[in-house]
Structure 1
Amino acid sequence: MSEQYGVLVDGEFEERSLYQVTSKGFTQPIWCRNNTYDEYVSKEINRSYGKLDVEGRVVLDIGANIGCFTRWAVDKGAMHVISLEPEVNNFNMLSLNMKDEENTTLHNKALTSSQDGDGVLYLSKTGKNPGNSSTTPRRGRVEVSISFMSVATLKNKHPVIDVAKIDCEGAEFEFMETLIAAYPDLRQVALEIHINGFGLKKAQDLHDMMLNNGFEAEVPPRLHNESLWQTLATYIKIGG
């Protein structure tokens, strides 16, 4: 491979060797970086998102990281997968893992409710967990420049989305209501709701917003412990 693959450590690029794994639920292997959580993430996909009915559907992957969920959805027969990942080193891995896949569209962007253009992403310094980046400022993080895509731009590029997986380290609070309004035919959503640093009230309000927009919780979020980092919920549109 001529391309360099790696992570940022204290804001500086470090190259990492690659290896392949085929985790449960996948029919094809996925490339992972050594000395990162990439393989662990791949092993969690089927358990976390196995309730999503993606076969023959248009699927949105927000916070695509290296492409584990995107790969899983393709392997499960998704008609098309639209993947957004703002961090460039993760995006390079996503592109590698989706190489030659015609039924995917990859955007090196972070989703926002209304802003297109430049933004900032906050990365952990160690490079161990490259997927744990956030558009929300956190103490001790490294700032990197990224590009934003608004929900309106997403809708213009991709007018139909049936199923969504959303794991974006707190950015969900900023855009979810706008996303749900833009896609009234969205039938199923796996949503990681982040609690630590945001609070239970915001998490409860987001859950209530989903219920008020015609969804029911197939897998309810755990909204009882302020110290939880996050909770994963799966919603399905009533009558969908």
Structure 2
Amino acid sequence: MRPSTTDLAVVNEASLADPYAVAGITQLPADAVVIDVGANIGDFTMSIARSCPKGRVVAIEPAAEHCRMIEVQKLLNGFDHVTVVRTALGGSEGEVRLHGAGSHSSVGFGNGTVETVRQTTLGNLMSELSISTVSLLKLDCEGAEWEIIPSSEDVLPQIQRIVMEFHCTGDWTPARLADWLRARGFEVGYTPGLWNGLLWAVQGTSPERIKDGSLDPPAF
């Protein structure tokens, strides 16, 4: 961790407190395929890579300095099954301006240094990396989740589990996203929050349960 940065707070939140470890969702087989969107300095990436030594972990991070730190973490941990991809995920292909703000670097807001980076969709990324099935999709991307998830509808059947931090923006709320995911075959649970919180989703809901309206959030 670097001094005078947000690194310690990042590690404390995502690794020591481990908010994603709910109902065994992050307990994966050794050969799991994980995509970590908004990997920051690689804290969650390294943690999940240790539990999936025969699998594949892809760290998605747009900030160049954070990508450098993930590469350092790979060397320190001796992981050769971690791939770092410097890109932003969103709802379309193009380029975006990233505003640096430590652990809260964002395409949408911020007053720090600005760098231009490629933006792609989750579906295109999976195709480019020859990923057919995702055991776990983790997102912590400062509001970009509202573009990433809806634009990924065609590849959602290939995603088994989702854990994410959400940020309430405009019409998008966790309740709306939960309903949207349930209609596409997921069981969903989320924490209350006026500004942000956590959401978990597991693939496998039967169409009959969706149709008759009997689906309740799992007891996460």
Q: What TM-score, normalized to structure 2? A: 0.80
User: 1:88-108 deviations in whole A, cap 9, x for unaligned?
Assistant: 111110111112421111101
Is 2:82 the partner of 1:104?
A: yes
Deviation at 1:175, TM superposition (A): 1.5
User: 1:66-113 deviations in whole A, cap 9, x for unaligned?
Assistant: 000110001122511011000011111011111242111110111122
Aligned with residue 28 of structure 2, among 54, 58, 64? 54
Percent same amino acid at aligned positions?
24
Is 2:100 the partner of 1:123?
A: yes
**Unpaired segments of 5 or more residues in structure 1?**
1-31, 125-129
CA distance in 2, matches of 1:54, 1:166: 17
Which position in structure 2 is the counterpart of 1:221?
191
Is 2:179 the partner of 1:208?
A: yes
Letter in 2 for 1:147: R
Change over 3 Å in CA distance of 1:132–1:188 after alignment to 2? same
Aligned with residue 114 of structure 1, among 79, 87, 92? 92
Which position in structure 1 is the counterpart of 2:57?
81
Change over 3 Å in CA distance of 1:235–1:132 after alignment to 2? same
Which position in structure 2 is the counterpart of 1:90?
66
Cα RMSD, aligned residues only: 2.1
Which position in structure 2 is the counterpart of 1:71?
46
Deviation at 1:183, TM superposition (A): 3.6
Change over 3 Å in CA distance of 1:90–1:155 after alignment to 2? same
Aligned with residue 120 of structure 2, among 149, 152, 161? 149
User: 1:200-237 deviations in whole A, cap 9, x for unaligned?
Assistant: x31232222122211122x42315x2xx2x11111112
Letter in 1 for 2:83: T
Question: Which structure carries more helix by proportion?
Answer: 2
CA distance in 2, matches of 1:209, 1:105: 30
Deviation at 1:55, TM superposition (A): 2.9
Letter in 1 for 2:180: M
Which position in structure 1 is the counterpart of 2:12?
43
Runs of 4+ aligned residues of structure 1 deviating over 4 Å after TM superposition are none
Aligned with residue 157 of structure 2, among 184, 187, 191? 184
Question: Which structure carries more strand by proportion?
Answer: 1
Q: What TM-score, normalized to structure 1? A: 0.73
Change over 3 Å in CA distance of 1:213–1:109 after alignment to 2? same
Deviation at 1:180, TM superposition (A): 4.2
